[in-house]
Structure 1
Amino acid sequence: MLFSSDKKFIFIANLKTASTSIEEMLVPYSQISFLATSCGKHMSAEQARSIVNSFAASVRYEDCFSFGVMRDPLTYALSVYNSHSKKAFIGKPSYTGSISFDEFLRSWVLEKPSWQMRPQFRRFVDSASEKPMVNYVVPFESLERGLSFAFDRLELNCVHNNSASTIPRLLKSFVASRGRINRLKRLNKSPQKLMAPKVSDWARDFIWREFSEDYAFYKSYVGKLL
């Protein structure tokens, strides 16, 4: 989670949605930064509101433009599965390199539910009403366009004038033209152990059922100014 009292924004960091790359762009503007998973990087909007309203003297959560990124539940699950097939996870309970995607879903969603497979929409809603608590949810599938919209609203300095000496620190992680992000540098990328076209019919049906609330939230709110 990132909070800027100067630019009045709050970034809610969802998992597997280029949050590390986005943070690299926004940290220079932020007064409060939670960048490590163990320290609350992926906290919910509800948790962010509590922190901001408790520690920020002049700017409250409600005064800020709050946003995050969400992706299709199938590709989200694939990204979690693929990311844990890295050699760094060998020997750990979370290693997925030796199991199929179907086995992963049964284990991480049903048998031993993992916080990483918690429905994404819950990160962006009030837990009691389940109504959105953010102003904009960027669709991961059109990430650069969605971030350009968000940055325009925040009036961030995103214009690349073709002079390397004058490119601000913000632009180290992406290339921009006329205030639009053309190419976002992807950090912490997951290996491509399995791609969507090879997912089994069982897995597709399972994700459709188990993450129906994510699909409904995506259809109703993602990509729209709230």
Structure 2
Amino acid sequence: MLMFWKQKLVFLSVPKTGTTAYEAALAPHASMSVQNPPELKHAPLYRYNRFFRPMFEKVGGEEMETLAVVREPVSWLGSWYRYRKRPFLSGRPNSTENVTFDEFVQAYCRGDAPAFARVGSQAKFLEPRPNGVQVSHLFRYENPTRLIDFLEQRLEVKLDLDRANVSPTMELDMAAITRRKLERKFSADFALWESTAIAD
């Protein structure tokens, strides 16, 4: 998570949406850069609302705007699957080394998902709060140009991004019935991503 005090902007770090590269490029310009622990680096909107927002408002008086990136849900799950297939996780409960992508998605759709399929939900991460707090600016992962243009204008910087924390490429096969189950059980995630098309 990055906070830009002068510009009244907070960049929320949704996991697996390419935010690590933005954080590396923008950290020198930020008033506050939260890199660790992961629970704070990837603070969802509800945690920002509960802990960070009251602190910012108490010392500044003005409400901060928030920004986040969302990714097409299957692509987002694919990134998690590939990341957890890496050798350094071999033998651990959250490893996907002996699991197909279809099995991973099936497990993700279960109410009691095993450790390797517990990756959360983008819609839940960015769910508006009862007090009206919601994400002010939402950008699509697949269209980085919009986000870069916004950041360069808002922060008055020139961005030079390097790819960071990239999962290895591989084929991701999923049965049609699994896709339908995913779309049904996580309709909010698909709706969230589709909502960003209006501005593309």
TM-score tier, shorter chain, comes to 0.7 to 0.9
Alignment partner, residue 162 of structure 2: 185
**Count, aligned residues:** 197
1:105 maps onto 2:105 in alignment: yes
Contact persistence 1:137–1:224 (CA under 8 A): no
Runs of 4+ aligned structure 1 residues displaced above 6 Å come to none
Q: Distance in 1 between matches of 2:197 and 2:85?
A: 29
Contact persistence 1:136–1:224 (CA under 8 A): no
Letter in 2 for 1:208: E
Q: 1:20 to 1:186 in 2, by over 3 A?
A: same
Alignment partner, residue 8 of structure 2: 8
TM-score, normalised relative to structure 1:
0.76
1:26 aligned counterpart, secondary structure: helix
Contact persistence 1:46–1:133 (CA under 8 A): no
TM-score, normalised relative to structure 2:
0.84
C-alpha deviation, 1:74, in angstroms: 0.8
1:146 maps onto 2:146 in alignment: yes
Letter in 1 for 2:84: H
2:68 aligned counterpart, secondary structure: strand
Q: Which runs of 5+ in 1 are unaligned?
A: 159-170, 175-183
Q: Distance in 2 between matches of 1:191 and 1:36?
A: 24
Q: Distance in 2 between matches of 1:35 and 1:155?
A: 20
Q: Distance in 2 between matches of 1:61 and 1:51?
A: 16
Alignment partner, residue 70 of structure 1: 70
Contact persistence 1:136–1:222 (CA under 8 A): no
2:41 aligned counterpart, secondary structure: coil
Deviations 1:45-89 (A, max 9, x none): 232233333333543572x33111101111111111111000111
Q: 1:47 to 1:33 in 2, by over 3 A?
A: same
Alignment partner, residue 83 of structure 2: 83
C-alpha deviation, 1:205, in angstroms: 1.5
CA RMSD of aligned residues (A): 2.6
Alignment of 1:186-201 (within 5 A): 186-195=163-172, 198-201=173-176
Q: Distance in 2 between matches of 1:107 and 1:85?
A: 15
Letter in 2 for 1:66: T
1:122 maps onto 2:124 in alignment: yes
Q: Distance in 1 between matches of 2:163 and 2:198?
A: 21
Q: 1:142 to 1:155 in 2, by over 3 A?
A: same
1:203 aligned counterpart, secondary structure: helix
Q: Which runs of 5+ in 2 are unaligned?
A: none
Alignment partner, residue 36 of structure 1: 36
Aligned residues: percent identity?
A: 22
Letter in 2 for 1:217: L
Q: Distance in 2 between matches of 1:81 and 1:141?
A: 18
